Chains A and B, each alone.
Chain A
Amino acid sequence: MKPALIISAGTCGLARGAGEIVKAAQDYQSKRRLQQKFDIIITGCHGFCEAETNVVVHVDGKQIFYQKLRPENVKDVIEKTLLREEIINNFLWSDPKTQQVYVYIDDIPFYRKQKRILLGNNLHVKPECIEDYVKLGGYSALNKALKEYQPKRVINLIKESGLRGRGGAGFPTGKKWELCRKMKSSVKYIVCNADEGDPGAYMDRSLLEGNPHSVIEGMIIGAYAIGAREGIIYVRNEYPLAVKNIEIAIKQARKRGLLGENILGSKFSFDITIVRGAGAFVCGEETALLISIEGRVGRPRPRPPYPVEKGLWGKPTNINNVETWANIPAIILRGAQWFSSIGTEGSKGTKIFSLVGKINNTGLVEVPMGITLREIIYDIGGGIPAGKKFKAVQTGGPSGGCIPSELLDLPIDYESLTEAGSMMGSGGMIVMDEDTCMVDVARYFLNFTQQESCGKCPPCRLGTKDMVQILNRISRGEGREGDIELLENIGGNVKRGSLCGLGQTAPHPVLTTIKYFRDEYLAHIKEQRCPALVCTALISYVIDPELCGGCTICAKNCPSNAISGEPKKVYAIDQAKCIKCGICVSVCPDKFRAVKKVSPALT
C-alpha cells in the first residue's frame, strides 16, 4: 500500500475542523504534485473522538497516530512523517495520567484493549467508495451466502452464533429471522432501525457514516434469509452525513448488481430505500417506526401482534438495528463458532459503546461482551479527568439507569445490566464524576422522556410528567417528606402500566439513582443541599477573598451587576442580585479561580 494520510472526518471530526485539515492536505499535495507519492484517505470516524482532529499516517506498513492537528500542522506531517518517516513528538498522543507517549495506533491503550470487528474498517474505507470495502473482503459474505447457503442455513448460522439485537432489548436475531421467515406471506419487509435517538449514543451514526456497506451487506443477507424483497433504512434526519453516505452506498451497490433484480446472478432480488425520520425519539420503538414509515404519526401500538406477524403495511417485517445488521457479514465469513467464542454465556460477540461524559478518552469503543465497566472506564477510557472522583456511569440512555462505583467490576452483558436496574440500550455510556448531581441527571432524563412521550397512554404521558414535577420541586429545595416513596411508586406503576418500551423503561433513571444515591435525594429534600453543587436553586456563588485578585473581569461580565468591589481589591457577590448564571465562574482567570459554589444557598 502506498503511503497514505488517513483523515478522520465523521461529524464530530468535522465539528472540530477536519474539513480544514483535508483541505490543507489536498492543497499541499496538488501544489507540490505529490499525488504519486501518497494518498489522502478521508474516512469516517476513527472512534477516538477525544483525539480529534486526528490523522493516521500510514507509511511502511505502520500506522502512526497523530492527534489534535491544526491545518497549519499538515505541511509538517506530510513533509516529515509521510515522506521522510520522521516522527513528530508534539502530535503524538500521551496518556494524561502516566504522560507516556505512544507512536503507533495499535499501541494506544484506547485501541489496544478493544476488539474492533465492526469499527476497525472505518480506518480503511472511504465511505463513498465501494471498492475500498470490496478490497477488504466486503460483499464476499453475501457471495458466500447466496452461492453456498440455503436461506435456512443462514438463519441457523445466525442462531448458532448467538447474536442478539443490538438495539437494546437483546432479542435473539436468528430467532426473529426464523419467525419472520415462517410467516406465510408473499410480501415481507426488512427494516434497519437507524433512528438512534438515545442522547449520548452515536455508534450507529459512526457505522453508517464510516462504513455504510457493511450495514447494506448485512441487510441483503438478512433479506435473502427471510425472503424479503424490500428493505428500508429508517435514519434520523439529524444525521445528514450518514444519510448522504448511505444514499451513495446504495447507488453504488445497485450499479454493481448487489441490489436490484437477480443479485449476483442469483434468483434473489432485493432493494433498499431510505426513509428519514423527523425528530421523534419514540419512533425508535419498532411499531412507531413502522407507522412512521407509512407516513403517519408515530404513536406505538400494542404488541402482539408483533411486526414479524403484522408489520409494515400489515406484512411480516423484520426490524434490526444498524449494529446488528453490521455484525452479519462477519458471522457469515468467519463462522458462528468464531463469533460465539467471543463474549459471555448469554451474550455473544462485541458491543460498541459510546464512552462520553466526564472521562479522559471519550470515543466509541468496541469491546467483547463480558468486559467489566472498570476495564472500559479506566483501561480504555483512561479514567476521570482533572483528578475528580468517579461517581456513576449511565448506560442505556433514557431507558437505562445509573450504575455506581460499587458495581464497577460488573461484567457487562444484557442480563447483568438489567439486574443492576439499567439496560444495555443502544450502548450509550455516560460517565459522571463527583460534580454530577444525580437528582439533576434523573430530572434530565425524565424531562427528556416526558417530552418525547407520544401522549397515547396515560401512565407514560402523565406519570412521567408527575415524576418530573416531583423532581423539579426536589431540585428547587421544595421536596416533601415521602416524595422519594411517591417517585418509587409512580415509577413502578409507569413501568408496568405503559403501552410501549418508552414508558416501560422511562422510570429507570429515577429508580436507579434512588436505589444507589438515596442520600443525595435526602440531602436535597431534608437539607436543601445539592452535594454536587449543580441544582441552581440550592447553590450560591461566592468569591473566595483569599483567592480574588481584584481583576474586575467578573464584575464587568456580570449581567445583573451583582458583583462589586474596587480594582485590585477583593470583590464580592450580592446574593440578592445574583441570578446564578455562572458567567463569573466561567470568566474568572485560571490563575485566581476565586469564584466558588456553595450549597445550601446563602440567604
Chain B
Amino acid sequence: MKNIDTNLENYHYRKTNIIQILQDIQSEHNYLPEKILKYVSERLKMPLSTIYSIATFYAAFSLNPRGKHLCTVCMGTACHVRGAAAILNEFERKLDIKAGETTGDMNYSLETVNCLGCCAIGPIVVYDGKYMGEFKLKDVAAVLKEKE
C-alpha cells in the first residue's frame, strides 16, 4: 500500500485525478486489484461505486489479473480489412480463450485494441510490448511457440 500512497500523493489526493491514479495502478499491477481500489476509495473519500464505475467503463482497465504474456490484436479498420478477425480467431482457438480472457495457467492474456494508429502496416499484433506489423495467420503458432 506504500506505493499507492506515493501514487496518491503525486496526484495530491484529488478525486478528479482518479483516472490517472487508476492508470498508474493498472500499469504497476497489470490490473486493478479490488483491495487496492477499496483502499483508494477510503483515502480519497470517494465512493467505491464511483471507482468501480470508472474501472468498468474505460477499456484500459481490467479488474482481473492478467497472464504472464500479453497478446493484443489490433482491430482497427485497416487491420480488419486485412484480416485481423481471422488472426484473433486463431489466437482464440490456439489459446482456448476469448478476447479479454486469460488462460487458466495464467500464462497468456488475449486482448483487442481499437486502433494503435499503425494502420499502414496492419494487421498488427503486440506481443509483450513488441509491435509486429503485417502479421500473418501462420505467425500465430510461431509467436506462441517462441514464448513457450
Contact = CB atoms under 8 A, between A and B. Distances in A.
Direct A–B contact in the complex, CB atoms closer than 8 angstroms: yes
Interface of A: 11-12, 14-16, 49-50, 52, 196-202, 205-206, 237-239, 275-281, 292, 294-298, 354, 356-358, 362-363, 394, 397, 428, 430, 432, 436, 441, 444-445, 448, 452, 454, 557, 559, 579, 581-583, 585-587
Interface stretch (B1-9, B33-41, B80-88, B102-110): B80-88
A295 B117 contact: no
Contacts of A198: 115
Contacts of A237: 23, 60
A295 B18 contact: yes
A358 B81 contact: yes
Contacts of B122: 356
B17 A295 contact: yes
A298 B18 CA distance: 13
B121 A12 contact: yes
B89 A581 contact: yes
Contact of A356 (B14, B20, B78, B138): B78
A442 B22 CA distance: 34
B77 A444 contact: yes
Given A297-B57, A428-B77, 9 more contacts: A49-B119, A200-B76, A200-B115, A278-B54, A295-B15, A354-B119, A441-B80, A444-B80, A559-B93
Contacts of A363: 120
18 contacts: A14-B131, A49-B118, A49-B121, A52-B120, A202-B115, A238-B113, A276-B20, A279-B59, A280-B58, A280-B59, A281-B114, A358-B81, A358-B82, A441-B80, A454-B57, A579-B93, A583-B137, A586-B138
Nearest to B129: A240
Given A199-B115, A239-B117, A278 B23 contact: yes
B19 A292 contact: yes
Nearest to A364: B120
B62 to A, nearest CB: 10
Contacts of B57: 280, 297-298, 454
A452 B115 CA distance: 13
Nearest to A237: B60
A583 B90 contact: yes
A202 B58 contact: no
B81 A587 contact: no
Contacts of B137: 581-583, 585-586
A15 B20 contact: no
Given A279-B60, A586-B136, A587-B138, A200 B78 contact: yes
B133 interface: yes
Contacts of A12: 117-118, 120-121, 131, 133
Nearest to A586: B137
B13 interface: no
Nearest to A559: B93
A50 B120 contact: yes
B116 interface: yes
A16 B121 CA distance: 8
A298 B60 CA distance: 13
A277 to B, nearest CB: 8
B116 A278 contact: no
A444 B93 CA distance: 20
A238 B16 contact: no
Nearest to A14: B131
A296 B133 contact: no
A557 B78 CA distance: 27
Nearest to B78: A356
A582 B122 CA distance: 18
Contacts of A441: 80-81
Contacts of B117: 11-12, 196, 201-202, 205-206, 238-239
Nearest to B137: A586
A362 B93 contact: no
B71 interface: no
Nearest to A283: B58
A397 B136 contact: no
A15 B114 contact: no
Contacts of A202: 115, 117-119
A232 B131 CA distance: 29
A247 B140 CA distance: 36
Nearest to B115: A199
A430 B81 contact: yes
Contacts of B89: 581
B83 to A, nearest CB: 8
Contacts of B78: 199-200, 356-357, 362, 430
A230 to B, nearest CB: 13
A196 to B, nearest CB: 7
A294 B17 CA distance: 8
B133 to A, nearest CB: 5
B134 to A, nearest CB: 9
A276 B53 contact: no
B120 A49 contact: yes
A70 to B, nearest CB: 14
A557 B23 CA distance: 41
B125 to A, nearest CB: 10
A238 B72 CA distance: 12
B132 interface: yes
Contact of A581 (B59, B86, B116): B86
Interface-central residue, A279, A280, A394, A585, by most chain B CB under 10 Å: A279
A296 B23 contact: no
Contacts of B50: 296
Nearest to B61: A278
Given A276-B23, A295-B19, A297-B57, A199 B93 contact: no
Nearest to B114: A199
Contacts of A199: 75-80, 114-115, 119
Nearest to A50: B120
Contacts of A49: 118-121
B65 to A, nearest CB: 18
B124 interface: yes
A306 to B, nearest CB: 22
Contacts of A354: 119-120
B72 to A, nearest CB: 10
